[in-house]
Structure formats: C-alpha cells, structure tokens
Chain A
C-alpha cells in the first residue's frame, strides 16, 4: 500500500514551453501533497505544500507564478512549470501524506526528471 505515482518520469522540452507534472496517490487519500526539487548530489528542497481544495503554500524564494500547483482532489496534485528555462532543469519529486493515519509520514513518488534545452 501507500503508492504514489508521478507522470511523466522524464521530460525534455524547449526553453519557453510549459510542462505539467502529475502526482497521484494510488491507494490512499492524501490531505497534503508536497513538491520538492533536487539538484544533482544535493538535498531535497521543499518548493510548496498543497492541500486539496485550497491554494498551495510556497516556500520563500519559489515563484508561485512560475510553478503553478493545483490540488484538484484527494488523490491528484499537479505542478506546472511555466515558461521553462534551462535553470529549471532538475529532479522534481512529489510526496503525499495520508488523510488518515500518521500525518508525519510522507510517501514519495518516483520523481520526474526535467531537462530544458
């Protein structure tokens, strides 16, 4: 149980285009989903926290107009990187905390590697 999927796993796009990444909790309902970014050999940096039906809370320094987050249901959150540039190339990982059970537990998706040319 507690499986989180992400789609796509890999995306290559041209500079200036927008990319949407989906994060789904497959066998549980997630009150909260988190979006992280990880550069090679570095730690996970929390970008934003999204709660179903409400606006996402962005961490300091993260542009909310560039990284659009929509948490449409208890099993789906999306991250859209708008007008992507090469510096946005990174490993984007989502995680989900179950609506029932241990709130301090988060289950990670497999991640999405974004390469902006």
Chain B
C-alpha cells in the first residue's frame, strides 16, 4: 500500500517563503503531485515530479528525492490567497493516493 505524511498545519507571513514536506512509503510509483484546496472547494493541480529534482512553476516549486522517499512544495512570495490546504499525492498504476494534507495559514 501507500502512505504519505505531511505536517498538519503551517503558519507563515505574507511575502515569506514556506516549505511543505511530504514523506511517503510505497512499493513503487510514477510520480508525486501537489494540489491546493481552498475551504469548500475542489483540489486544483499545482505541480508534478516524475523525476528527482526541482520543478518550478511561477511562485511554486516542487522537489522530489526518491532515494529519501521525500518531497516538498515550496511557496515563495506568499500571498493571503495562498491560505489553503495542500496535498501531496502519489501517482501509481493509474491511481492517485493523497497525503493527509497541510493547512497553510498566511498572516499579514
């Protein structure tokens, strides 16, 4: 099976940089995705890592290290609208398995 762990909550101030970690256990997977979900809304896709290393998409970057079973999402120049829950998800055999989610609180 798959298991993914994330910190439950992170708080940061506007304009800062924050890193949300994801550690996982799996017998194999194709890649690691990150999703954002605002309260009451559906998840939206942020980033996907098929290979080790850093993927950058605007203010968001995602990193994967298969040898360490670890990934992270990096958010730069935090804005109030970034307050949301963030989920990592493993993509494996045409399925997605989600982590427990991290609630990001951005304060002015």
Contact = CB atoms under 8 A, between A and B. Distances in A.
Main secondary structure on B side of the interface with A: strand
Contact of A34 (B41, B50, B96, B100): B96
Contacts, number: 49
Nearest to B44: A108
Nearest to A109: B42
Nearest to A31: B94
Contacts of A34: 95-96
How many of chain B's residues touch chain A, expressed as a range? 20 to 34
B40 to A, nearest CB: 8
B91 A104 contact: yes
Contacts of A93: 42-43
Contacts of B61: none
A43 B101 contact: yes
A107 to B, nearest CB: 7
B34 interface: no
B41 A111 contact: yes
A107 B44 CA distance: 7
Interface of B: 30-31, 33, 35, 41-45, 48, 50, 87, 91, 94-101
Given A49-B95, A95-B43, 6 more contacts: A42-B100, A46-B98, A104-B30, A104-B91, A105-B45, A108-B43
